[in-house]
Amino acid sequence: MSSQLSVARLLWRAENVNGARINTAWTSDGVRSFTYRDLVSDVRDLAGALASIGVKRGSRIATMAWNTRQHLAAYFAVPALGAVLHTVNHRMPIEHMAYTINHVSDEVLIVDEDLLPSVEAMRGRIPTVRHLVVVGEPGAIDGFDQVIPYDQFVSGASTHGSFQEVDENTAASICFTSGTTGLPKGVVYSHRSIVLHAMAISTKGGVEIDAERAYLLATQMSHVNGWGVPYAAALQGARLVLPGPHPTPERFLDLIHGERPDTFVGSPTVAALMRDEHLRRNCGYDLSELKTMWLGGQVPPVALARWWAEQGARVVNGWGMTETSPMGTFSPGGSMQGRPLPLFELRVVDESGSPQHWDGQTVGELEVRSPWVAREYLDDPRTPDSFRDGWLRTGDVATVHPDAGLQIKDREKDLVKSGGEWISSVDLENALMLHPAVSEAAVIAIPDDTWQERPLAWLRLDADVTDEELRTFLATTLPRFWLPDRFVRVDEIPKTAMGKIDKADIRRQHREITGQPASTDQASTASDGRDHNVAVIPTRSGTTSGL
């Protein structure tokens, strides 16, 4: 009989091969250590408690939690029972959180105490949830069949949970896209896809997660399986450093200083805030052990990458999205998104769907397929628009080089078409952020009577700079027609629940302020589910109701 690929197989290795290896987690009582053997014991306790309230194969269990030891236990316990884990992104709007819980029909909700106000706001709107398990003190919340503290819940189980043999193609977890331009879309990950993704990102063609490395996991476990890092770390015996509830740049730096991880996993936004905090403290943190900044979610500014390199940490990147589990390509450095991971296929196609040459110049829409790429959305009528002949239509404009190096040019909906020529919002943003006065930049297209569209740049500044000084700076590297006619200075640039620049919100604010639509308001129906994207330039219009 063949053995199935399953999350339980990862647990066997974590316990029997990597059992003595130590992880650490920040708690309100300080940093605490635990081994993989301790983790598997936690998993058995939680699995037993869930089984005791009737959780079985196919049951759907939600979490609203930070990067904690308890959340890590749920990552494994729920699928090991044959149930399905739904990690609710607690940074979404309340309406979206309630929508995802109802869409999945979750029966149990495991929630961190500090996130109870969100549960209170959804009370009466999530009728399928019968059991509320609170990591901390539940307080006076009611409206559920059972409300119980996590510690009491797991200690009250009469037996350890037994790990189930499951078909590898059955659902193990569900994540939702961020839903920036519509309701979030559910993406189902199978046991097989989780295991293969964990193996792929552990290879030399991937991120090379291995037992000799320690990973500070800043990217939220509440979204896209924490980029697959928890599963790959358990498989390889790599050390995890979990930052706990409400992490701050100061806490990340404290953990780097005290726990000595060699790899940071998170977003460019957080990396920039860490840089600013380090400088504010007169470089008072010891960063010498940190060797790699694995950044995703949006384009890492060149200036930011240079600064971290000066501290001894190279910035690595790649490309992926919720629908790709999320990793699809990886680059150990440079301006491109890297080459496909093992077992991951990609192509660029023209408007008719015909594949284009890999010459580093011809552009088209990026389409991908892999054992860990979604084939459909969970009970969602938008599925047909996003898939073609077994390929996922990403909505990214890209080119592929002869060595299989992927280069993302832009999102289709973010391109600016001015006088019949294309302007890449990503390239323009990167160029702006090379100016020492510019901390963040976001570019959108606005209608223009003469040129059809022109770029509008929103800027968060560290110092005063005039429009003309900015244009003079840009003109040294960019064509004149790329230079924005207008710059908008703001205290903060809007971000999505994922910490990415929220161009939909920028377009909305532009519309409210000026009474004029931003160009993409009239065309785009896409929902951006990307999680990694580091980029450069364009050449194609058309819209896709993809991702």
Report the catalytic residues.
Answer: 177, 323, 417, 422
CA–CA separation, 200 and 240 (whole Å)? 18
CB 217 within 8 A of CB 241: yes
The two beta strands, 186-190 and 171-176, are: antiparallel
The residues with which 387 forms a beta bridge, in sequence order, are 392
Q: Which residue has the tokens 């996003």?
A: 386
343 contact partners, CB below 8 Å, separation of at least 6: 196, 200, 370, 371, 372
Q: Which amino acid is at 276?
A: D
- Name the nearest CA neighbour of 193 among 398, 63, 341: 341
CA–CA separation, 209 and 227 (whole Å)? 12
The residues with which 364 forms a beta bridge, in sequence order, are 398
- Biggest CA–CA distance in the chain, Å, is 74
Q: What is the dihedral of CA 184, 106, 117, 24, to 10 degrees?
A: -90
- Name the nearest CA neighbour of 297 among 233, 361, 218, 240: 218
Q: For residue 156, how many other CB atoms are within 10 A of its CB?
A: 12
CA–CA separation, 17 and 47 (whole Å)? 21
CA–CA separation, 65 and 73 (whole Å)? 12
Length, in residues, of the chain: 547
C-alpha distances (whole Å) from 388 to each of 176, 179, 365, 394, 546 are 21, 21, 12, 11, 10
CA–CA separation, 119 and 112 (whole Å)? 10
- Name the nearest CA neighbour of 401 among 353, 351, 337, 352: 337
CA–CA separation, 232 and 326 (whole Å)? 13
- Name the nearest CA neighbour of 459 among 301, 336, 308: 301
152 contact partners, CB below 8 Å, separation of at least 6: none
CB 130 within 8 A of CB 76: no
- Type and span of the H or E element at 168: none
CA–CA separation, 541 and 291 (whole Å)? 40
- Name the nearest CA neighbour of 338 among 540, 197, 533, 538: 533
The residues with which 31 forms a beta bridge, in sequence order, are 26
CA–CA separation, 514 and 447 (whole Å)? 12
CA–CA separation, 465 and 463 (whole Å)? 6
